[in-house]
Amino acid sequence: MQLADIVTERIQRVTQAPKVALHEPRLDGNELAYVRDCVESGWVSSVGSYVDRFERELAAFVGAAHAVVVSNGTSGLHLALQLVGVKPGDEVLVPALSFVATANAVSHCGAHPHFVDSTAATLGLCVESLSSYLGDIAELRDGQCFNRNSGRRLAAVVPMHTFGHPVDMPALQELAARWSLPIVEDAAESLGSWIGERHTGNFGHCAMLSFNGNKIVTTGGGGAIVTNDPTLAKRAKHLTTTAKLPHAWAFQHDEVAYNYRMPNLNAALGCAQLERIDGFLEAKRELTQRYLAAFADVPEVELFVERPGTRANYWLQTLILSPQAAAQRDQILAATNGAGQMTRPVWELLTRLPMYRDCASMPTPVAADLAARIVNLPSSPQLVTDLAA
């Protein structure tokens, strides 16, 4: 039997369904009741009790002092970069293996993505290789970090927690402090992921979360900035609401800003979803165990699991093909999708996209290797719930 057929059969063994999406939201809690409340009350736009409630409950869940909800994850990351001082012409260190929004947010600031390699240990930014690289190309001037080759300021570093598996943030904190680099965590995929007792998003100056329709918790579309800095939180709220000064009726604005607000309707969905996040996370951990059992006797593949000292949310189940099986990746994708089991490859390396090919980059051999060998599997939490029922 070909490897593609084996993988297809093992996925079907776990899902026990003829057609399965990669990741679907589960919306059978209080979502309809809360959205109906918004409609009946008339509070459907960007002001309302569910916005305030979602911000409070989200901050409490991740253990951050403040949360500011926004229209989507990209807008949240764009603003988070501005909050830490990224300016046009700067460079921002981002992983080459990431969703395009990570680099796009840098570009929206008028800055330049500067790509770094990943590590197979976390699938995210490699702190060790970045440390060596900065030693070669960076220098400190008056307490700020600069790229000696381009002359541009290195204004921030953006670790992205790939598929909910945390980057080695304590090591990155130490490195960033040494080079005076603000940290902005791209935590779009890591709601419900911890390093020790500390939730992702609490290791930098601020972080971005995403609530797109395929995330652990969804608001349809939406995101949030979380931070423990009250000054950053206040400024985030101001800039996301068009920099409007408080007044009973007058429209006074004190700087160029954005309409990045999350509507009350979306926040209502978020409140209902957050009520059930513990169950979602438990289901995804159980799904991991089922995939581990299903692939235990297939030596050409390995399911990626959390590393010691961390607790991953397992947003997307991740199969790593052996180097010898890498050439069969597209056959596996074709066979599984053809059988109704939706799988996907990881994103195209950002260094290979036409708008970013000329950006600065360290060598990224590990990111390239991972990109050739990753296959994401169906990961909806209801796969477990439905089976248990």
What are the tens digits of pLDDT across the range 118-149? 999 999 999 999 999 999 999 999 999 999 99
For tokens 């490699």, name the residue.
Answer: 126
Cβ neighbour number for residue 256 with a 10 Å cutoff: 8
Percent with pLDDT over 90 in the chain: 96
pLDDT at 369: 98
**DSSP assignment of 303-334:** E--PPTTEE---SSEEEEE-GGGGGGHHHHHH
Q: Which residue has the tokens 């069969």?
A: 328
Q: In Å, what is the CA distance from 69 to each residue of 26, 58, 162?
A: 21, 9, 22
The pLDDT of residue 48 is 82
Hey, what are 124's tokens?
């995210």
Mean pLDDT over residues 13-29, rounded? 95
- Residues ≥6 apart with Cβ < 8 Å to 132: none
Measured between alpha carbons, how far is residue 296 from residues 289, 290, 342, 360 in Å?
10, 10, 21, 41
Which top CATH class is 31-274? alpha beta
CA-closest candidate to residue 360, choices 52, 141, 91, 86:
91
Would you kindly state where each structural domain of the chain is located, as residue ranges?
3-24+277-388, 31-274
Amino acid at 312: A
Give the Cα separation of 183 and 229 in Å (integer).
13
Helix (H) or strand (E) holding 157: strand 154-157
Rounded to an integer, the average pLDDT of 187-206 is 98
Span 206-253, pLDDT tens digits: 999 999 999 999 999 999 999 999 999 999 999 999 999 999 899 999
Q: C-alpha angle with apex 326: 322 to 331, nearest 5 degrees? A: 125
- Are the C-beta atoms of 111 and 84 separated by less than 8 Å? no
| pLDDT tens figures, 359-375 | 999 999 999 999 999 99
Query: CATH assignment of 3-24+277-388, given 3.10.20.740, 3.90.1150.10, 3.40.50.2000, 3.40.50.2020?
Result: 3.90.1150.10
Residue 248 burial by Cβ neighbours in a 10 Å radius (0-12, 13-18, 19+): exposed
**What pLDDT score does 386 carry?**
56
CA nearest to 69, candidates 185, 206, 224, 208: 224
Average pLDDT for 8-35: 96
Mean model confidence pLDDT for the chain: 96
Helix (H, G, I), strand (E, B) or coil at 36: helix
Rounded distance between C-alpha atoms, residue 95 and residue 126, angstroms = 9
Per-residue pLDDT at 109 exceeds 70: yes
Task: Compute the CA torsion angle 207, 213, 217, 219 (nearest 10 deg).
Answer: 80
- Rounded-to-10 torsion of CA 89, 70, 56, 49: 150
The pLDDT, as a whole number, for residue 387 is: 47
pLDDT score at 388: 39
